[in-house]
């Protein structure tokens, strides 16, 4: 019986698979195989036995390990015995010199390696969509909004480009973080490597080389959890960007604004009682799940404050934080990529909103030109501010109000005011910035 929504509602098959119980068990077995291989390489155990372990260990059964655990109440030792059973006499070397977390944390490193690969692909896919959208809308002039109020014009291309730039930084962070997080250890009971004599450093290096992951410099009995806290924070940071995009889409889809809209299926239902509804449910889902991912930061930080060389308070917590945070972040990445790829853009409503205030949003343009032609900047600001308030109160075009003011027309003619209050002529270098960003980030999308 499924209980958690990850089991039946949220998550991609590929990321759920990485954090599945079956794959976790496989990673644990792989870590034990790598340990035997490394110890044979340095002469600690017979090479023939290491080969037998390598050939047979992966046939160990998760079900059998669970049966053993029910008897002995220790999951790692149950796994060790399950592997030993399928390796015959060579099974005597399974887990030789290791402590539980050497295998547990190294298995986590293998899972994180797969997770990083999947997340990077999803981030690149999202970036590709955003850059495509930025390029196709770089000249689509629209209203900007600060504090929820219309400001000077911007373009949809610049809006998409801002999101693309943010996503590219997440890719940078992921690539920078990977070598700090995708690591394993083989340091023994409290990190001294005593059980391996003089071979500890060699064994750890050979083991991680075999698994193709990084190696800690030092550890206690566990890998320091600052690494994992940084990973969880990265997921929360990514989820927050997706939340930010979702909030904007939801705002722009409001009936009174209506500039964009999530794609709506032919037979899709928006409400059980209001048949007309077309709700931004995917963006809302992203915004909601982002809260859960962010909530994982506090336990991830607390997992680093363990007693002495270690205690077990992190273990139960990480069984939840790793899969939940990663699967939900990955889910949100895929969902938001689809939303943006299929986003409907209503140019008619964009234009309507842009012209709604009859030039008042272009007040800065006139102020700048008056100052350029000789009026003190603060005087220009005040006269344009007063004229804008007057135009708003009277419901008149700003050009009409300004044309009647002698202090304005002695610097700028009525005909020139029309040009200065044209929103299409006041987008600055928005198009150039978009083009520059697309060129800069093109290499990210060629993976």
CA distances from 96 to 106, 200, 213, 353 (A): 15, 12, 21, 71
Q: What is the C-alpha R_g of the chain?
A: 30
Q: What is the pLDDT of residues 86-100, one digit of tens each?
A: 999 999 999 999 999
Say if strands 149-155 and 141-146 run parallel, antiparallel, or are unpaired: antiparallel
> Is residue 136 annotated as a catalytic residue, yes or no?
no
408 with 383: CB under 8 angstroms? yes
Q: What is the pLDDT of residues 184-215, one digit of tens each?
A: 999 999 999 999 999 999 999 999 999 999 99
pLDDT at residue 72 in the model = 96
CA–CA dist 345, 342 (Å, integer): 9
CA–CA dist 173, 153 (Å, integer): 32
CA–CA dist 230, 380 (Å, integer): 50
pLDDT band with cut points at 50, 70 and 90 for residue 337: very high
Q: What is the pLDDT of residues 381-428, one digit of tens each?
A: 999 999 999 999 999 999 999 999 999 999 999 999 999 999 999 999
The catalytically annotated residue of 59, 61, 136, 271 is 271
pLDDT at residue 2 in the model = 85
Q: Percentage of the chain surpassing pLDDT 90?
A: 93
CA–CA dist 437, 155 (Å, integer): 14
For 342, phi and psi rounded to 5 degrees?
A: -105, 10
pLDDT at residue 172 in the model = 98
Tokens of 182: 């995708």
Q: Is the pLDDT of residue 447 over 60?
A: no
CA–CA dist 213, 195 (Å, integer): 23
Instruction: Report how far apart the first and last C-alpha atoms of the chain are (Å, whole number).
Output: 40
Stated as kind and residue range, the H or E segment containing 417 is helix 414-420
Tokens of 245: 């995009």
pLDDT band with cut points at 50, 70 and 90 for residue 275: confident
Within 19-155, residue ranges assigned H as helices are 21-41, 47-56, 62-72, 75-86, 100-136
CA–CA dist 350, 378 (Å, integer): 32
Roughly what angle, to the nearest 10 degrees, separates helices 62-72 and 21-41? Answer: 90
CA–CA dist 111, 170 (Å, integer): 20
366 with 421: CB under 8 angstroms? yes
pLDDT at residue 1 in the model = 84
The catalytically annotated residue of 17, 147, 316, 413 is 147
Q: How many CA atoms lie within 13 A of 146 on its CB side?
A: 5
> Is residue 271 annotated as a catalytic residue, yes or no?
yes
Please state, rounded to an integer, the average pLDDT across all residues of the chain.
95
CA–CA dist 8, 261 (Å, integer): 27
pLDDT at residue 271 in the model = 67
Q: What is the arithmetic mean of pLDDT over 33-56?
A: 97
pLDDT at residue 83 in the model = 97
pLDDT at residue 266 in the model = 77
- Enter the DSSP assignment of 424: G
Within 141-280, residue ranges assigned H as helices are 156-181, 200-211, 226-252
Q: What is the pLDDT of residues 371-384, one digit of tens each?
A: 999 999 999 999 99
423 with 141: CB under 8 angstroms? yes
pLDDT band with cut points at 50, 70 and 90 for residue 265: confident
- DSSP letter string over 319-338? HHHHHHHHHHHHHHHHHHHH
58 Cα distance to chain centroid: 33
Q: What is the arithmetic mean of pLDDT over 328-349?
A: 97
Q: Percentage of the chain surpassing pLDDT 70?
A: 99
CA–CA dist 10, 2 (Å, integer): 12
CA–CA dist 390, 382 (Å, integer): 12
CA–CA dist 283, 249 (Å, integer): 7
Q: Is the pLDDT of residue 263 over 90?
A: no
pLDDT at residue 297 in the model = 97
What is the helix, strand, coil percentage profile of the chain, to 5?
Answer: 70, 5, 25
CA–CA dist 190, 433 (Å, integer): 54
Q: What is the arithmetic mean of pLDDT over 296-315?
A: 93
Q: Is the pLDDT of residue 148 over 80?
A: yes
Residue 149, SS3?
A: strand
């Amino acid at each position: 019986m499924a209980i958690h929504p990850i089991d039946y509602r949220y998550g991609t098959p590929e990321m759920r698979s990485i954090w599945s119980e079956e794959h976790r068990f496989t990673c644990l077995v792989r870590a034990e195989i790598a340990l035997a291989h490394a110890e044979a390489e340095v002469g600690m155990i017979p090479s023939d036995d290491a080969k037998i372990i390598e050939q047979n260990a992966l046939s160990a059964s998760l079900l059998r390990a669970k049966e053993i655990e029910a008897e002995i109440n220790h999951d790692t030792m149950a796994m060790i015995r399950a592997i030993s059973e399928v390796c015959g006499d060579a099974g005597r070397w399974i887990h030789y010199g290791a402590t539980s977390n050497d295998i547990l944390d190294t298995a986590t490193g293998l899972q994180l390696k797969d997770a990083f690969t999947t997340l990077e692909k999803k981030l690149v896919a999202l970036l590709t969509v955003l850059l495509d959208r930025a390029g196709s809308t770089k000249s689509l002039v629209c209203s900007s909004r600060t504090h929820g109020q219309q400001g000077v014009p911007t373009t949809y291309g610049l809006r998409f480009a801002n999101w693309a730039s943010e996503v590219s930084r997440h890719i940078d962070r992921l690539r920078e973080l990977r070598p700090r997080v995708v690591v394993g250890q083989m340091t023994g009971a409290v990190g001294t490597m005593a059980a391996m004599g003089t071979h500890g450093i060699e064994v750890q290096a050979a083991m991680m080389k075999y698994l193709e992951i990084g190696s800690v410099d030092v550890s206690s009995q566990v890998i320091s959890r600052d690494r994992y806290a940084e990973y969880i924070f990265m997921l929360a940071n990514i989820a927050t960007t997706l939340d930010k995009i979702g909030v904007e889409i939801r705002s722009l889809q409001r009936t009174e604004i209506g500039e964009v809209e999530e794609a709506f299926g032919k037979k899709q239902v928006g409400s059980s009682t209001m048949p007309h509804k077309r709700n931004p449910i995917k963006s809302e889902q992203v915004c909601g799940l982002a809260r859960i991912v962010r909530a994982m930061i506090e336990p991830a930080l607390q997992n680093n404050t363990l007693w002495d060389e270690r205690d077990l308070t992190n273990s139960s917590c990480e069984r939840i934080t790793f899969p939940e945070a990663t699967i939900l972040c990955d889910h949100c990445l895929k969902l938001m990529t689809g939303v943006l790829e299929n986003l409907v853009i209503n140019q008619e409503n964009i234009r309507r909103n842009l012209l709604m205030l009859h030039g008042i949003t272009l007040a800065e343009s006139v102020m700048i030109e008056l100052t350029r032609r000789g009026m003190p900047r603060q005087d220009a600001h005040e006269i344009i501010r007063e004229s804008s308030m007057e135009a708003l109160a009277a419901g008149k075009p700003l050009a009409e109000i300004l044309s009647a003011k002698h202090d304005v027309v002695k610097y700028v003619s009525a005909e020139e005011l029309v040009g200065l209050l044209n929103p299409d002529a006041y987008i600055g270098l928005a198009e150039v910035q978009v083009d520059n960003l697309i060129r800069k980030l093109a290499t990210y999308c060629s993976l």
